[in-house]
Structures are given as C-alpha cells and as structure tokens.
Amino acid sequence: MPEVQKQRNKRADAVRNRDAIIDAGLKCLSHNPAASMSEIARVAGVGRVTLYGHFTTREDLVSAVFEATMDRAESEVAAVNIDQDTWTSLNELVESSWLALFHFNALLAAAEPYLLSEQIRAHHDKPLAPLIAVLQKGRSEGAFRSDHTLEWQVACFYAILHSAAAEIRAGRLREADAPKILPTTVRALLSSPARMART
C-alpha cells in the first residue's frame, strides 16, 4: 500500500476514533457527570492509550464533548427555515431546541468545573435568534398573541423546555414522548385569543 494511502487511512481512523469518543462521552456524561475516562473509552470501543492520545486530561475530554454536542445541536436549530409557514417553523424549532436544551442540561454538571460561565452562556443564548425571529413573525401575522411581551414568551418557551428536560431525567416523562407533547404545549402558550376563539 502506498505511503500516502497509509497516512490517509491513519487520519480517517483517528477521526473515527475521536468521533466515537465524543459520542461515548455524551452518552456516559449525560447519565453520570462523574463518568471516568476508562468507562468512556470502553463505551467508545477504544483503548485508554487511544483515548489519551486524543484527550490528555479529563478536562480536555469533557470540554470537547460539551462543545461538539452543543455545536451539533445549534446547527440543527439554525437549520430551521424561519421563512416557511410560521407554525411549521415553530414546531421545528421546538423539536430541535428541546433536544439541544436536554443535552445542555445533561452535560452542564460535568462541564461546569472546566468551562467559563461566558462559554456556557454563549451556548445557551445562541438558539435565541431564530426563536425571536419566528415569534416576531407570528405576532405580526396575528397568529401569536401579542398581549404578552416578547421577552415573556421567550422565557416561557425555555421554561417549558427546561421542565421537559427535568421531567425526563426524573423518569416522569419518556424522551420519546417529548416531541409529541412539547409542540402542542407551546402552541397553547402562543396562540392568539382570537385564533383560539375560532377553533
């Protein structure tokens, strides 16, 4: 095998191993913020030498898992088309945002000792822009109620999502049920009184 191809294979293996470690880190740290490096390596299907070759300390690994997971979640939120039907946009935002928030909350206990509060806050605030755009659009169309302030609607939106994440962790709500329950809950919160009177 040519040397160039060998180097490409090594790089591809390294990328696969790193991705496997990140995914295993999310799985382990979400269930146990104190999960050990050995446990994460076992779930990733790699040896300790390989794991430490990518992440020399637990801080490096936890920080990387948090950043990678939040980047993926934020990409899903940012991919929502806010120019389509307003209710469709809202439903897609709910579906993507609740999962982002669920992962954020699950990893927060593990990541807090290693990340600056500004880093954590930045990840928490990033999904705000598309949400605010959809809320403003819905209010201007008369689909969403405007007798409540925009700030209050944003706060309530996130309070509902936070509550769902907490209920899942407590075992009182199945994760599979969240995508069905949350859109209707948020819809009831935002529907204008005139719209509700017609339905």
**Residue-range domains of the chain with CATH:** 1-56 (1.10.10), 58-198 (1.10.357.10)
Q: Say whether pTM exceeds 0.75.
A: no
pLDDT string in tens for the chain (199-residue length):
566 555 666 687 888 999 999 999 999 998 888 899 999 999 999 999 999 999 999 999 998 998 888 888 888 888 899 999 999 999 999 988 887 778 777 788 788 888 777 777 776 666 688 899 999 999 999 999 999 999 999 999 989 988 998 898 888 999 899 988 999 999 999 998 865 555 5
pLDDT on residue 117 = 75
The answer to whether residues 51 and 40 touch, using CB atoms and an 8 Å cutoff, is: yes
Convert the pLDDT of each residue in 114-151 to its tens digit: 877 777 777 666 668 889 999 999 999 999 999 999 99
Convert the pLDDT of each residue in 174-187 to its tens digit: 989 998 899 999 99
pLDDT on residue 87 = 94
3-class secondary structure for the chain?
Answer: CCHHHHHHHHHHHHHHHHHHHHHHHHHHHHHCCCCCHHHHHHHHCCCHHHHHHHCCCHHHHHHHHHHHHHHHHHHHHHCCCCCCCHHHHHHHHHHHHHHHHHHHHHHHHHHCCCCCHHHHHHHHHCCHHHHHHHHHHHHHHCCECCCCCHHHHHHHHHHHHHHHHHHHHCCCCCHHHHHHHHHHHHHHHHECHHHHHHC
Q: What angle do CA 41, 9, 28 make, to 5 degrees?
A: 15
The Cα 137–Cα 116 span in angstroms is: 34
